Amino acid sequence: MVSRSYSNLLELASGGCSPTFGLGREKKRLPRVATVAGVLSELDDDSCNSTGSDALSSVSQDRMIVVGNQLPIRAHRDENGEWEFSMDEDSLLLQLKDGLGEDVEVIYIGCLREEVDPREQDDVAQTLLDRFKCVPTFLPPELFSKFYHGFCKQHLWPLFHYMLPLSPDLGGRFDRSLWQAYLSVNKIFADKVMEVISPDDDFVWVHDYHLMVLPTFLRKRFNRAKLGFFLHSPFPSSEIYRTLPVRDELLRALLNSDLIGFHTFDYARHFLSCCSRMLGLSYQSKRGYIGLEYYGRTVSIKILPVGIHIGQLQNVLNLPETVSKVAELQERFKGQTVLLGVDDMDIFKGISLKLLAFEQLLRQHPERWGKAVLVQIANPARGRGKDVQEVMAETTATVDRINATFRRPGYEPVVLINTPLQFYERNAYYAIAECCLVTAVRDGMNLIPYEYIICRQGNEELDNVLGLNPSTPKKSMLVLSEFIGCSPSLSGAIRVNPWNIEAVTEAMDSALVIPEAEKQLRHEKHYRYVSTHDVAYWARSFLQDLGRACRDHSMRRCWGIGFGLGFRVIALDPNFRKLSVDHIVSVYKRTCHRAILLDYDGIMMLPGSISMNPTSEALGILNNLCKDPKNVVFLVSGKDRKTLTEWFSQCEKLGLAAEHGFYLRPNHTADWETCVGVTDFDWKQIAEPVMQLYTETTDGSTIETKESALVWNYLYADPDFGSCQAKELLDHLESVLANEPVSVKSGQHIVEVKPQGVNKGIVAEHLLQTMKEKGMLPDFVLCIGDDRSDEDMFEVITSAKATLPPGAEVFGCTVGQKPSKAKYYLEDTHEILRMLQGLTHASEHAARAAPQMTTMTTTTTTTPHRVVISESK
């Protein structure tokens, strides 16, 4: 199948950067996969400009590109030294295919577990592509080591599991070269995606923390790419995550996805808190969906724990090997109660805590001697390092001590299995275990309890081996750490704090003595959930939400801004465009009656300036605009009238609107007047004490008292606490002021109480109405603002266009590229001032030209008169 990517092999061969539009829609073979692993020298690859992928689709069916660190492939050499490949049935990436539907083609991109000689990589890549629809990424060993064992396992994995690098032995200091390797590998993965993607049609699903910056590289290439990301590990609280030196880069990279998935609400909540505290972004929940507004795009948040492949597990349970293994274990542990632990050998699985709790159980309950057996299956660690060796040594020493203390003839209290087991062997242990123990101190999901539940449900053959009546309800018990992802979904489990050895001991004992009927009820509840929320359900739900998150792509105008990992895509209404200075100056020159409305705070104040006072440049521009007799200029601000009077005393013809339009003054000599007939401000005596209460309890918050309004500001308070307090304050004020003629509204870091009907829109209405009454109905309206309070003005001038003279031009302009009721934007204050300067130059030029035109007209008309008078004599 020919890719629409700009970096596919056909384009690379021709050296072009533009897409080939002449290709038909017939299905074609995927291009041969490139195998050269590049090294990232710079973050920006601008050899071809980022585009919105307007090429025609080359596929006629839905296609999902699944990207993970490892391909779902098993590889080994046969006796002749030839490579043999097979699908890895245990891989989650392969199992999720069951939920995508038969009509969805799936292509996998990832690494092989085995190293392939560079001379064989082309042939291996083509074989995997042809037979398994897999695109391998071959990484040089040194680069892979820095990427995986370095940045992923030394920095991200410990931090995401709440381990801070407080010393060189705990994760190590941040190494910039490892970060550079991480970026290089993500860029290589992006190149592989680009070889096969059809960006207008394909969905891309990226998995886990190994590829967190991949969305940025893909989004930069294809602005409308349909990108989903799922994090399979925990996401730490902001206090932990903020210690990462590249924290902002990773957050912004994830936000280039359309949908971000997490196992639990806690993980999602931590991510949203980090976005709020570090990027200033807020989220909203609408109709059950959580979304983050990010430069006009809505990044959706998905919360759904992954499930297991029920069919595969049941097939293994039906194997003769499983049945015979269960019979063997049943005989081995005859007359004993088996408690089972299955964990990877790493520092976060809490194996030693589990062993200590079991040791205490035997000490406190001598009657358990000879009867209770803990079988601990220790899977090989995925990482490597000193900490793994320490965990292995500690585990072995603890097991030896317990067995030496409580061993009896025919009784081994703890059975430690630290050699790899076949899947059917592990399932056999599940089937005979009375209780499953998971005491991890931190784990992303952990599917061991799910597998245990299904295996305890069993089948007829296993029931016969175990001596169970098939008609009798099955039973199982779970003791789970409250710090693992599956804990919230298994509500019938006994949840424990694994650090509390006494509590874990008590939970073990409870699991053994609980009544049979209770065990059956808990098992039934768990089995019902696990069997209906399998991996297919998880994948199907994610794909549905990804489709929903991407459905507006074609209706939005997208373009990219920013460099490197700061790149992001702006997605706005197609009619929203940048204001051309030449165009507005041209219209300005040919119009006769102009209404100009300017917001002060975001227009006249330079960004980053501490001073609130207007600059001399801004005052000069306002004065020059006001000198033009064709102009009526109003400055609108939330400031009080005293401050505005002092600041703009030099601008005698400038109209001012203070406190968002409550007070108006058409020029310097006129008196202030109110647009809303309000004389009673007794409500302040009710509202101010309430605000004062929240100010005292919210460090960093302040109260701004205006003549017509009260504003509670929490800009410098803790973002989460301030936002929480603002919601409480809003409800409190709405309750106590329910019978007062005021409106209570929340804004950007504020809660404001003001008289009803007061907003900047009434300033626009007042100006247009006044000009109409004076016979000066404007044929040019310009309104510039930068925040939500200015949207009322944009709405008024847009709706008023129908009442203006034919051909009248209306320009609503916001500052920055963001969703707005304005139809135009300029990037920043500097561009606004430059545009206004262009208007003043046009006025000055017209003023200079006027006397000359008058002189020419006088000369032209008087000369004939003189001639006429002379002839009459």
Exposed/middle/buried for residue 871 (C-beta within 10 Å: 0-12, 13-18, 19+): exposed
pLDDT band at 307 (very low <50, low <70, confident <90, very high): very high
Which CA distances in Å does 510 have to 369, 478, 481, 514?
A: 16, 11, 15, 6
First to last CA, the chain: 98
Q: What is the pLDDT of residues 48-75, one digit of tens each?
A: 444 443 333 333 458 999 999 999 999 9
Residue 274's closest CA among 219, 212, 203? 212
Stretch 397-406: mean pLDDT: 96
Which residue did the predictor score with more confidence, 29 or 186? 186
The dihedral through the CA atoms of 277, 280, 285, 291 has a sign that is: negative
- Spatial separation of the C-alpha atoms in residues 192 and 218, rounded to whole Å: 10
What are the residues whose beta carbons fall under 8 Å from the beta carbon of 261, sequence distance 6 or more? Answer: 228, 229, 230, 231, 301, 302, 303, 304, 542
Bridge partners (DSSP) listed for residue 340: 375, 436
pLDDT averaged over the chain? Answer: 86
Neighbour tally for 305: CB within 10 Å:
21
pLDDT surpassing 50 at residue 691: yes
- Report d(CA 324, CA 301) in Å as an integer: 46
Most confident of 12-16, 437-441, 817-821: 437-441
Point out the least confidently predicted range of 94-108, 154-168, 392-406.
154-168
Banded model confidence at residue 41, pLDDT cuts 50, 70, 90: very low
> Which phi and psi (to 5°) does residue 634 adopt?
-125, 135
Residues 863-869, mean pLDDT to the nearest whole number: 35
**Cα 482–485–489 angle (5° rounding)?**
85
d(CA 608, CA 603): 13
For 741-752, what is the mean pLDDT?
Answer: 88
Confidence class for position 316, pLDDT limits 50, 70, 90: very high
Q: What is the pLDDT of residue 608?
A: 61
Q: What is the pLDDT of residue 40?
A: 42
| pTM passes above 0.85 | no
Asked if the model's pLDDT at residue 404 lies above 70, the reply is: yes
| DSSP three-state, residue 126 | helix
Give the per-residue pLDDT at 98.
93
Least confident of 170-174, 514-518, 734-738, 838-842: 170-174
pLDDT at 191: 96
Q: Is the pLDDT of residue 669 over 80?
A: yes
- 354-381: average pLDDT: 94
- Please, where are the H alpha helices in 259-333? 265-279, 310-317, 320-332
Q: Are 258 and 545 in contact (CB under 8 A)?
A: no
Distance of CA 229 to the CA centre of its chain: 9
Q: Which of 224-233, 237-246, 375-384 has the lowest mean pLDDT?
A: 375-384
Token reading at 849: 């030209």
Percent of the chain with pLDDT over 70: 87
Average pLDDT over residues 203-228: 95
Query: What DSSP designation does 764 have?
Result: H
pLDDT of residue 853: 55
Selection from 207-216, 563-572, 577-586 with the highest mean pLDDT: 207-216
Q: Buried b / exposed e across 575-613, counting CB within 10 Å, b at 16+? A: ebeebebeebeebbeebebbbbbbbbbbbbbeeeeeeee
Per-residue pLDDT of 371-386, as tens digits, reads 999 999 999 887 677 7
Residue 19: what pLDDT? 34
pLDDT of residue 830: 87
pLDDT in tens, 572-609: 677 788 899 999 999 999 999 999 999 987 677 766 66
At residue 586, the 3 state secondary structure works out as helix
Q: What is the pLDDT of residue 178?
A: 95
- For residue range 14-29, what is the model confidence (pLDDT) as tens digits? 333 333 323 333 333 4
- Name which of 349, 263, 311 is nearest 454 in CA terms: 311
**What average pLDDT does the segment 277-294 reach?**
87
Between CA 789 and CA 210 the distance in angstroms is 42
Residue 393: both structure tokens together? 């040594």
Query: In what side-by-side order are the strands of the sheet with 105-111?
Result: 134-136, 105-111, 63-70, 203-207, 226-230, 259-262, 297-303, 289-294, 283-286
Q: Is the pLDDT of residue 9 over 70?
A: no
pLDDT digits (tens, 9 = 90+) for 484-504: 999 999 999 999 999 999 999
Are 839 and 810 in contact, with CB atoms under 8 Å apart?
Answer: no
Residue 629 clears pLDDT 50, i.e. is over it: yes
Q: How far apart are CA 446 and CA 266, in angstroms?
A: 15
Residue 422 confidence (pLDDT) above 90? yes
**The pLDDT of residue 733:** 95
* pLDDT confidence of residue 167: 72
